[in-house]
Structure 1
């Protein structure tokens, strides 16, 4: 446990910049925060005017400071892929769509010469985020996207990715093809899936909602069904259905997230689901209001409860919001942003009732431009608020996204309910980004702190953070008593989801010093990596009016009645707006003190690296030195297949898979992502080609992340100059 670490790098907050976010170059269907400086953006293959190597770009890197974006090379069609972080701070995406050309035409699914895109349905793409001082023209700063060297065995379009405590990634669901699906009629396709839940929910299980639980099991929700899945035994345990059979997965695309894990709730995961709709195909979706209902569920209660069920919480304000997206904020509230009041995700040229759609190809209407805040700690009847928030004039519907930035603002981008680029319809392809500033940006005092560690561990010795007297105003005791330390991972965002998003309050006590400074004694993470999987994160200190819980294992808090802060003005704030012009609201949330995110380097270089589950004893000795430098995944030398499933079949259908990142080492020992490695330096001869695992084995089988038996077809020579 003690060697498992989360890499962190301290940074003080700067003043908020303009709310206009600049041009993203490609429409932001997907985004993730790569490091303190860069956000990475992905789009489907379409006729973007911005190009890379002479063809329409599918990727871009967005510079947070300058609000500008530059295109990046992506070879395979990333349309409706899944993605996640790796333990060392790299990112990986899975699957996508076949190659397409103008107007979404398929033609040859393997490659389209006009758009220059390859089939992405089996693709695994890996990126090592770089900073402003790095050379973005080098392969080390670009996407590794070469299916001849790394790919899945199953096609996956609209799959979900969720990290496990050992650093591997479970890839759940997905389709091999098709189009807009919003029906509650089971597929007639052969039930080849190894996960019965995916058969049961077929028709409405694209992008299944998936969250790792404290036990290591995974909570899954699709259609209106719910279950717990044990990836080690492939056991499925049914949980209650969604109340009212409301559908929250794509294309209903309800806002869904895990609520903050806090000492108050004993770091027990509760998942919230809001809105949703099911109305296709015998209705015109854009005319039907989305549900405004919200429900929570605690799949593994720790309060002695013996039953698990959904609980209805406050309805959303004013209207429902299909495609709304939850963003965890450092004050332990949840922002919901983007979406429409009517309809669903997706686009179409017609419905069974209407041959000419009124909003171009959009199946949603009535954009909801005003964000709202959900406070899970507020009493019933007052959990939602939007006081002081402006309404954005930019429609953010299908294929819009949002992500938390290091300064605690929120980058909002995308929207493209069109089969190809179309800027001449009511809801056009959108390249303009915005930055939303939550209410705490109205605080006049934005202080700093020192002492942040470079890594965090699961359990172990507490660490101290020091806030100077300028960090607050008023009584030092009051400020110290109402300060929280929060760890946030923003996740990988697409389709109103943030895969991997987590928010955790770390326990702390304090000492008020005679010079007015406050020393926070902060616990490490709870000693269970299932609660917050290893990888990059943001660390915030928040001074607010919400008293923090006191941890038993920490030193006693020591106050000083004779000390006050020297900060100017108030350390608390009021409402803010999308355009950052007015600060007229009354929503009090406190001053955010600092933002911290992982230091990120090339895979296999970082000191707080990661290793693998070594499934073969005969490899253990040869890899001992490499794994000692890396991130230990557990105390055993073998683990059962993460996807489970009965034996007897050569390959599984699109139910679940596992991706275990390779460690640092020689090319013969899995060093594909080591520093300096490039596509030309890798060979399929004499080395296992992939850390991806997707074939059926018995439950007693060992999980070998180097095992791969699917044939490979190289596309490296089909596109000169591209990887």
Structure 2
């Protein structure tokens, strides 16, 4: 693992010169190729509480590399690619067995959005062409498939963002040429209207838009933090009212699609009195237009901006990454650090618009001093450009897949071929040398232990070399990952009692924690619970907060 002096030197160098790609031997962590091909491109990914991952791309992409079972075919006269398609455009990947099966999506899910309902059912909305007003659901079970509900949305939702609300509904914000929002499900059969959001008009660039897939997070006061282009507001969705306007992000460059930076709500700490947003990377203004013309590929932004949205007078604080990147993904790790992975060093989102793959992940430690928060990790050998994605799974690894910066399933005569492989990245906390400090949860057991808001929960775990003061319990809502943004990604550090030795010959301990006190802090649904010791997490267990 790099020393702090090495990191300091690296950060110092990027302030004065362009940092070359890190050497292949740099950093910790390990990569493993899980599947050479899953048959489709992982444009969209969601982990379910069954430890299975839903993956899908688009139906107007041509023929995929995996057939639908039982002779099924999709027949669509409105399709612009293949009107009769007997290949799949969605798969379900089973993490424990490293196997996958084809699923049948009937309408076009390209550049759509989703969230998981409180009962664990994925509710997926919008897309393109025949899918733009569709709502699709997927109920987790070994043989289940997609259920399609056409024309359920009030507006066409393409490049929109979804967020779960405390009452169990989801809000769907924006989309291409949609300066409004709506809810699903509707409160009654006649409530299919969309509500105007002028902020999306104000942040729409005429040439590049840059307000698609806006960054949306539920604040601890129940309002929504909405970031589009280079601006942010705090929004009361129940009254259709802007509560606060935040300062523009320093530098003024856009961070949303197609400039495609990424953003994350940093872990909420006990007492839950503060909330911070971190926005990293992206493409400078004008980069999309230049890349699309093929004339110039502008270097990606190397800055992260952080703001405490609960402050009376919030201000953005800027720091530099080891290298600029666009189209990267930000994944919350069980110990509260942020993994920044995938993407390019220049250009923008869009086919053929990215150059200079950034193969090294970074880890960002939000609690470290400014100037020493980044660590460069071991690189992958596979470029992950446009339409790649990344998600955390229960054992602490990060699944990485996708990349297709051109039209169609093209594997030759292109700079970056269509990528159908699936990799797993093991962060440094999974190194074998840390086994003696890695906790193992003993109880609760089973899948989906039900807990209530504000409930006391006893968590029992084993560990060989315990330091009692360095134990934390975290809960994480697995997100829907697409286009460099993970919707509904949310972590809370639970308030806990002191660690108790349970006695006997085994090294077993117990800590009592308090679950979040309200659905404003943690909307109802399935969460992964981890015990973290000396920044090394256990495998997670599923709990359902109701």
Structure 1 runs of 4+ with >6 Å offset: none
Are positions 1:450 and 2:442 aligned together?
yes
**In the alignment, which residue of structure 2 is the partner of 1:233?**
239
**In the alignment, which residue of structure 1 is the partner of 2:299?**
289
CA contact 1:96–1:156 (8 Å) conserved in 2: yes
Distance 1:267 1:403 in 2: 27
Higher relative contact order (CA 8 A, sep 6+): 1
**In the alignment, which residue of structure 1 is the partner of 2:280?**
274
Distance 1:160 1:50 in 2: 29
Specify which of 145, 169, 181 is matched with residue 148 of structure 2: 145
Distance 1:193 1:246 in 2: 28
Are positions 1:344 and 2:348 aligned together?
yes
Distance 2:289 2:30 in 1: 47
Q: CA deviation at 1:65?
A: 2.5
Specify which of 121, 126, 136 is matched with residue 132 of structure 2: 121
Distance 2:30 2:357 in 1: 26
Are positions 1:367 and 2:360 aligned together?
no
Distance 1:598 1:416 in 2: 35
Unaligned runs of 5+ in 1: 1-15, 99-118, 178-191, 348-361, 545-588, 600-607, 609-630, 632-723
Specify which of 199, 205, 209 is matched with residue 211 of structure 2: 205
**In the alignment, which residue of structure 2 is the partner of 1:181?**
none
CA contact 2:501–2:509 (8 Å) conserved in 1: yes
Q: CA deviation at 1:514?
A: 3.6
**In the alignment, which residue of structure 1 is the partner of 2:173?**
172
Question: Matched residue of 1:197: which SS?
Answer: helix
CA contact 1:205–1:223 (8 Å) conserved in 2: yes
**In the alignment, which residue of structure 1 is the partner of 2:460?**
466
Q: Which has more radius of gyration?
A: 1
Q: CA deviation at 1:194?
A: 1.1
Are positions 1:427 and 2:416 aligned together?
yes
Q: CA deviation at 1:283?
A: 2.3
Distance 2:201 2:353 in 1: 26
Are positions 1:329 and 2:329 aligned together?
no
Distance 2:444 2:254 in 1: 42
Distance 2:47 2:452 in 1: 22
Distance 1:276 1:517 in 2: 47
Distance 1:282 1:338 in 2: 22
Distance 1:85 1:281 in 2: 32
CA contact 1:214–1:528 (8 Å) conserved in 2: no
Distance 2:124 2:306 in 1: 29
Q: CA deviation at 1:307?
A: 0.7
- Residues 44, 216 of structure 1: alpha-carbon distance in 2 compared, 3 angstrom cutoff: same
Are positions 1:396 and 2:384 aligned together?
yes
Distance 2:273 2:392 in 1: 22
**In the alignment, which residue of structure 2 is the partner of 1:525?**
515
- Residues 40, 282 of structure 1: alpha-carbon distance in 2 compared, 3 angstrom cutoff: closer
Question: Matched residue of 1:284: which SS?
Answer: helix
Aligned CA RMSD, in angstroms, stands at 2.1
CA contact 2:46–2:55 (8 Å) conserved in 1: yes
Distance 1:316 1:176 in 2: 33
Q: CA deviation at 1:204?
A: 2.3
Question: Matched residue of 2:486: which SS?
Answer: strand
Distance 2:327 2:457 in 1: 40
Specify which of 250, 254, 257 is matched with residue 250 of structure 1: 257
- Residues 280, 441 of structure 1: alpha-carbon distance in 2 compared, 3 angstrom cutoff: closer
Q: CA deviation at 1:517?
A: 4.0
- Residues 171, 281 of structure 1: alpha-carbon distance in 2 compared, 3 angstrom cutoff: closer
Distance 2:53 2:520 in 1: 26
Question: Matched residue of 1:145: which SS?
Answer: strand
Alignment of 1:100-139 (within 5 A): 119-130=130-141, 134=142, 136=143
Specify which of 481, 489, 498 is matched with residue 486 of structure 2: 498
Specify which of 291, 297, 309 is matched with residue 299 of structure 1: 309
- Residues 176, 95 of structure 1: alpha-carbon distance in 2 compared, 3 angstrom cutoff: farther
CA contact 1:260–1:503 (8 Å) conserved in 2: yes
Unaligned runs of 5+ in 2: 1-28, 74-84, 179-193
Q: CA deviation at 1:219?
A: 0.6
Per the normalisation by structure 1, the TM-score is 0.62
CA contact 2:30–2:426 (8 Å) conserved in 1: no
- Residues 502, 282 of structure 1: alpha-carbon distance in 2 compared, 3 angstrom cutoff: closer
Distance 1:267 1:328 in 2: 20
Distance 2:105 2:490 in 1: 28
**In the alignment, which residue of structure 2 is the partner of 1:31?**
45
**In the alignment, which residue of structure 2 is the partner of 1:218?**
224
Alignment of 1:42-57 (within 5 A): 42-45=56-59, 46-47=61-62, 48-52=64-68, 53-54=72-73, 55=85, 56-57=87-88
**In the alignment, which residue of structure 2 is the partner of 1:649?**
none
CA contact 1:456–1:524 (8 Å) conserved in 2: no
**In the alignment, which residue of structure 1 is the partner of 2:188?**
none
Q: CA deviation at 1:295?
A: 0.6
Q: CA deviation at 1:331?
A: 1.3
- Residues 17, 251 of structure 1: alpha-carbon distance in 2 compared, 3 angstrom cutoff: closer
User: Which structure features the higher share of strand residues?
Assistant: 2
Question: Matched residue of 1:449: which SS?
Answer: strand
Q: CA deviation at 1:163?
A: 0.9
Question: Matched residue of 1:444: which SS?
Answer: helix
Specify which of 410, 427, 430 is matched with residue 438 of structure 1: 427
Count of paired positions = 467
Question: Matched residue of 2:529: which SS?
Answer: strand
Q: CA deviation at 1:594?
A: 2.6
Q: CA deviation at 1:399?
A: 0.4
**In the alignment, which residue of structure 1 is the partner of 2:105?**
74
Q: CA deviation at 1:129?
A: 1.4
CA contact 1:487–1:505 (8 Å) conserved in 2: yes
- Residues 498, 321 of structure 1: alpha-carbon distance in 2 compared, 3 angstrom cutoff: same
**In the alignment, which residue of structure 1 is the partner of 2:162?**
161
Per the normalisation by structure 2, the TM-score is 0.82
